[in-house]
Every structure is written in C-alpha cells, then in structure tokens.
Amino acid sequence: MKKAAAAGALLALLLGLSVWNTHYMDAVIRDMTERIELCRGRGREGDFPSAEEELSAAEALWARMGAYAHIFLRQTETDTVENAIRDVRECLRAGDADGAEVALQWLEGRLAAMAAMEHISWESVF
C-alpha cells in the first residue's frame, strides 16, 4: 500500500504541475496578447517604431520562458510563434500596416490555440 500511496502522491503532484502549467501559459500568453494589442494600435496609427517596441516587449516575454517553452512545447509550436513574430517585425520595418495586421492576427491565433490546448475541454481532450 505504501507504493500505491506514493504513486497517488506522485500523480497528485503531476496533476498539480499540470494546473500550474496551464496558469503559467495563460499568464504569459495574456501578457503577450496585451503587448500585441498595443503593437496593433501603434501600427494602425502609423507609428511603426513604437509598434516594433511593443512587439519586442512581447518577444521578450516569450524569450523569458526560455527553456520552459522548449521543454514543454512542441518544436513546431515554438517555431510558429517565433516565425510569426519575425514576420510582424519585417512588415513593421517595411511600413506595411496591412501586412503587419495580418501577421499579428496569425500570431494571436497561434498563441490562443496554444493556450486553448492546455485547457481541459471536450475539444482538447478528444
């Protein structure tokens, strides 16, 4: 029974870590989304340098996850986010507001999908 109890404790720990992981991902993606919104606003105003600053702030939040992202997320997901950020930056530097808008929508969509996957729902489980 000791082994079973220890296994129960380990399972509870894994469940707890899963819950923490979901909250952590939610917090990071929420902060990134706020920065992306600000970037979108600046871009619409034509203030591309400020938009790029907001984008860099979002990128810094992503980079702050560091090893966590590469340990817990699929490589395709991390690559998609990093590529999307690069695409937005290229559009902003080129002064292409429409292109930046499309790229930002794509980036937001990927982040939202990533957050949704960590949440327990019928869609994510099945």
Partner 1 sequence: MAIVLLRTIIIYLVLLGCMRIMGKRQLGELELSELVASVLVADLASLPLQDIGIPLMNGLVSILTLFCMELILSGLVLRFGRLRGALFGKPCFLMEHGVINQRELRKNRFTLDELTEELRRQSILDLNTVNYAILETDGTLNVILRPEASPATASQLNCPVTDAGYPYTLISDGRVISENLPACGKDEQWLREECVRRGVQGPEEVFFLSCTETGTVYFAGKEAAR
Give the interface with partner 1 as residue ranges (CB under 8 A): 1, 3-8, 10-11, 14, 70-76
Residue 9 Cβ, how far from partner 1 at the closest point, in Å? 9
Which two tokens mark 38? 């600000």
State in angstroms the smallest separation of the CB of 5 from partner 1: 7
Cα 56 off chain centre by: 14
Query: Among residues 54 and 118, whose Cβ is nearest to partner 1?
Result: 118
When the beta carbons of 17 and 60 are compared against partner 1, the nearer one is: 17
**Under 8 Å between Cβ of 47 and 66:** no
d(CA 68, CA 29): 14
Alpha helices in 46-72 (DSSP H): 48-65, 67-72
Distance CA 92, CA 39 (A): 10
Q: How far is the CB of 2 from partner 1 (least distance, A)?
A: 9
CB of 51 or CB of 69, closer to partner 1 = 69
User: Which tokens belong to 108?
Assistant: 């937001």
Give 71 or 125: the residue with its C-beta nearer to partner 1: 71
Question: CB 112 → partner 1: shortest distance, Å?
Answer: 20
- Give the span between the Cα atoms of 56 and 73, in whole angstroms: 21
